[in-house]
Amino acid sequence: MADMYQLSSASLDLLFAALTADGRRILAPTDRDGRSELNPVNTPADVAKDYVQTALSAKETVFPKVEQLLSYSLSPGQVDLVDAKPKAEPTVVFGIRPCEASAFKALDAVFNWDYRDTFFNARLEQLAVIGMSCTRKDDACFCTSVGGGPGSAKGSDILLTPTASGYLAEVLTDKGRAIQALAPELFQPADSADKAAQLADLPAAFDQPALSAKLPAMFDSPLWSEQALRCVGCGACAFVCPTCVCFDIQEEADKSGGRRLRAWDSCGYHMFTLHASGHNPRDTQGARWRQRIYHKFSYYPERYATLGCVGCGKCTRACPVDMNLKEHLVEASQVKP
Amino acid sequence: MSEPNIYLPHLMRIAKITQEAPGVRTFRLEFVDDAAAQGFSFHTGQFGLYSAFGDGESTFCIASSPTRKGYIECTFREVGRVTAGLADKEVGDIVGFRGPYGNVFPIEDWKGKNLVFIAGGIALPPLRSVIWNCLDLRDWFKDITIVYGARAVADLVYKDELKEWEQRPDVNLVCTVDPGGETPEWKGRVGFVPPVVEALAPSPENSVALVCGPPIMIKLTLPVLAKLGFTPESIYTTLENRMKCGLGKCGRCNTGKSYVCKDGPVYTLAQLNQLPAEY
C-alpha cells in the first residue's frame, strides 16, 4: 500500500530544485508550437499546464528513436570493433499520464524476457517516474478498457493527483522513496485523500478480456482488412505508441568505418516482413493491421501475461486518416463469435 | 551494469570461399578470438546473424554440421546490400557473427528411424547441416533418403557433396531439376520436387521427413507427404522469416505468439498448424 502525502504547489518548486541538486535531469511535458512534448525542464513553471497527453510517448527515455549498438573502424584485412555503452543519465520523467507510466512494463517484457537488453536496462535503471493523474480525458482515451485508469498508480514511482491546493502524492516504490528522501519535509501527511473525486470519469468502452479471448477465432474475419482499408501504412501509430517496441537494425558506414544503429520500426510497413526472395508473409495492409491488434491484444497476453496496449490513444490522435483504435476495438468486440 | 551487449558480433575470418552456383557462395568461418572459439558450440538447425561490416547484418542458418569442429559455414545468395557486401569479401577478410540462435532439430529423438530430406534450391543449406550431422552419426539411423531439386542444373548447390552422397551406399540421393532446367549431360531427374517425392513414395513407417525450400515447394510437398501417410508430428521444416535481432525482440519474425528466432526456426507441421499462416 502506497504512502499518501500532500504536496503544496509551492513545494513542487522545491522538489524540482532538490532533484536538480541531486544531479537528475527532469523531463516533463512542455508546450511548443501548439502541442506538448517531453523536454528537459528546470522548474514547474516550464511544465505544460493544459495537456491531456503528449503527442510522442515517454518510451524514448528508455528506447531512443535511434541508438548506436556498436561502431568499428576498417582497414585492409582488419576490423576494430568498439562496444557501445548506453549513455544513461539519472532522469526523472515528470507529469506523464498513468497510461504511459504503465507502458514501461510492456517494454520491459520484450527487452528482457529472454536475452537481457543492456541498452534498455541501463536507461530504465536510471529512470524514475513521477506520474500525474488525469483530471481530463479526450475521445481517444480508453485506459479503463485495458486495465488502467486516470488515477492508476501502475508504473509510477510517485503518482501525483492534482487537488485544489496542490497535489496528493502517492510514494509507491524504492525509487519514489529515494526522491522523497531528497526533501522529506515537502511531503506532508494527507489530511484527506479523496483522490477519486479529482479524476476524469472514463467508463470502459469494451470488455478487453472477452475480446482477447475471442481474437484467435477471429483471425480470418474480413473485419481487419475492412478496418485497414484507409490505412496508408505510414507507421505513425507505432512511433507514438508507448509500448511499440519493434525495431530495425541499420548500418551507417563508409570505407574507413561505421556504426550499427537500431531505430524504431513499424509492423505497418510492407518492408517489415518482406523476404529477400520477394515473398511477404504479411502482404496486405489488412494483414499488417491485424498483426498490430493481435500482437497487442492476443500474443502479448499469451506470451508475457501483459497487454501491449495501455489505452493512451496516442495512435488515434496521430493517425492521418483517422483510424480510431478504441472504435476499432469496440467494433471487434461486437463481432459475434 | 555489467550485462554484455547482446548485439555485439564475434569477429570471424573467412578461411575458405566456395562458389556454389551463380550468385551463391559458401563461407567457411573461423573465430579470430581463440577464447570465443573455445566457448562456442551449436546444434544443428540453429542460425546466426552474419555481418558485412560497412553494410549490415543478415540472417542465415549455420550450414555446417556441429560434428565438424573448429569452423562454421554459411551459404548465401547475393540479393541485397549485405549479401553483396559479403560477396565482395575474400579469403582472410573479417566478417561478424552473432549466434547460435533458435531451436534445434531433435536428432536424438530420431535414433532408429528412417530420415527423408527434401530440399529445394537455396534451402539445402539448413538441411545440409542436419544431413552431415546424421551421416557423422550414421549408425543412429536407418535409411537416409535425400531429394534435392533446383530450377536448373547450375543452381544446385554443394555439387561436390551431392556427388559424395550419390556414391555412398548408405544414402539414397535423388536430384531433380525443374523442366527446362536440364542440360544435355544431366543424369538426374527432370521434374518439380513434389511429384518427384510422390513418385519416390518414401515409406512413412518409422520415418521423419525434413522439408526446406521456397514457400511454394513446401506448400505443395506437405500434401504429398500427408498422402503418403506422414503425420504432422513427423514432418519438420524451418521457417525463414525476416529477422533483425535474432533475440526475440525486434518483432519482425513474430508469427502468432511465436518468435521464429526463439521458438523456431525448426517446427513440426503439427506446430505450424497451430500458428497463423504468416510465413
Share above pLDDT 90 across residues of chain B, in percent, rounded to a whole number: 96
Closest Cα in chain B, distance from residue A302 (Å): 7
For the purposes of burial, counting CB atoms within 10 Å of the CB of B19, is it exposed (0-12), middle (13-18) or buried (19 or more)? exposed
Q: What is the mean pLDDT of residues A235-242?
A: 97
Q: Which residues of A touch B262 (CB under 8 A)?
A: 114
Cross-chain residue pair B251–A83, CB shorter than 8 Å: no
Least confident segment among A190-199, A269-278, B193-202, B246-255:
A190-199
Q: Which residues of A touch B267 (CB under 8 A)?
A: none
Q: What is the pLDDT of residue B171?
A: 97
Share above pLDDT 70 across residues of chain B, in percent, rounded to a whole number: 99
Cβ atoms of A191 and A295 closer than 8 Å = no
CA distance A311 to A317: 12
Per-residue model confidence as pLDDT tens digits over A159-169: 999 998 899 99
Q: Which residues of B touch A77 (CB under 8 A)?
A: 92-94
Nearest chain B residue to A256 by CA distance is B54
Q: What is the pLDDT of residue B2?
A: 67
CA distance A47 to A39: 9
* Residue B195, helix vs strand vs coil: helix
Residue A249 bridge partners (DSSP)? A262
Q: What is the pLDDT of residue A2?
A: 67
Residue B120 Cα distances to A51, A63, A280, A335, angstroms:
58, 41, 19, 42
**Best residue in B50, B79, B101, B252 to probe A by mutation, most A CBs within 10 Å?**
B252
* Residue B101, helix vs strand vs coil: strand
B94–chain A Cβ distance below 8 A for any pair: yes
**Best residue in B6, B7, B212 to probe A by mutation, most A CBs within 10 Å?**
B7
B84–chain A Cβ distance below 8 A for any pair: no
Cβ atoms of B85 and B56 closer than 8 Å = yes
B56–chain A Cβ distance below 8 A for any pair: yes
DSSP 8-state symbol, B113: S
Cross-chain residue pair A70–B8, CB shorter than 8 Å: yes
Cross-chain residue pair B6–A118, CB shorter than 8 Å: yes
Per-residue model confidence as pLDDT tens digits over B67-120: 999 999 999 999 999 999 999 999 999 999 999 999 999 999 999 999 999 999
